[in-house]
Amino acid sequence: MAIIAPSLLACNFLQLENECIMVNNSEADWFHLDVMDGRFVPNISFGLPVIQQINKVATKPLDVHLMIVEPDQYIDAFKNAGADILSVHAEACIHLHRTVQYIRQQGMKAGVAINPHTSLDCLQYILEDIDLVCLMSVNPGFGGQKFIPHTYTKIKQLRRMIDERNLNVDIEIDGGVTEHNAAELIAAGATVLVAGNTVFSAADPMGMIKKLKNA
């Protein structure tokens, strides 16, 4: 069974507490929180104060996805805000190895996210040092986009890289995940499914989470 991580980017922010309670009461495993700075991606979402509030009500791990430049500057701050898993983009980190080491030193799980065009090669010498790879299956910056099909090839190749080395690294798929592609993503080797619009635009979000969980 995959880990299900609803992305609050697609939630009703006027009802943030109730949306968090819904996730708490659902079969979801993590909260996926998308931080965008308007520089790494062409959009701005939410940041530390909002995550601090979510952390007060959330009863499940906070999976924070940083789509920001110079993420090193904010690792302590996101730890203090409540992040349990912290993912940085490989494209945003000059010293990626140093960055993921520091994330782990702060007591968080370390994730590396890569854009749809970024090769798995950049993970070659870092895979042993991280807990999660976030494969972007849309171009980061916006929810509700269409899944990019070449992601399946990437998942299978990454699955092989991880298994060959006997590692325990999660493969998280982020963008365009639906109840229709969830099973195929898991079959290809994904272990974490992020879902924003599929969950929060559903008539029955808890039921949709259940569907994804049982895909």
The one-letter code for the residue type at 104 is R
Q: Tell me the three state secondary structure of residue 197.
A: helix
Q: Does position 23 bind ligand DX5 by CB under 6 A? A: no
**Binds 175, which of ligand DX5, Zn ion, none (CB < 5 to 8 A, cut-off by type)?**
ligand DX5
Q: Does position 34 bind Zn ion by CB under 5 A? A: yes
- The reply to whether 72 belongs to the active site is no
Q: Which of 86, 177, 188, 208 binds ligand DX5 (CB under 6 A)?
A: 177
CB of 178 to ligand DX5, least distance (A): 8
Which span (87-95, 116-124, 134-142, 183-191) binds ligand DX5, by CB under 6 A? 134-142
Instruction: Give me 111's structure tokens.
Output: 């994730």
**Binds 143, which of ligand DX5, Zn ion, none (CB < 5 to 8 A, cut-off by type)?**
ligand DX5
**Catalytic residue selected from 34, 37, 63, 170:** 34
Whether the Cβ atoms of residue 6 and residue 201 lie closer than 8 Å to each other:
no
Q: Which residues contact 108 (CB under 8 A, 6 or more apart)?
A: 78, 79, 83, 84, 85, 86
**Binds 10, which of Zn ion, ligand DX5, none (CB < 5 to 8 A, cut-off by type)?**
ligand DX5
DSSP string, 44-105: B---HHHHHHHHHH--S-EEEEEE-SSGGGGHHHHHHHT-SEEEEEGGG-TTHHHHHHHHHH
**Binds 99, which of Zn ion, ligand DX5, none (CB < 5 to 8 A, cut-off by type)?**
none
Whether the Cβ atoms of residue 180 and residue 147 lie closer than 8 Å to each other:
no
CB of 163 to ligand DX5, least distance (A): 26
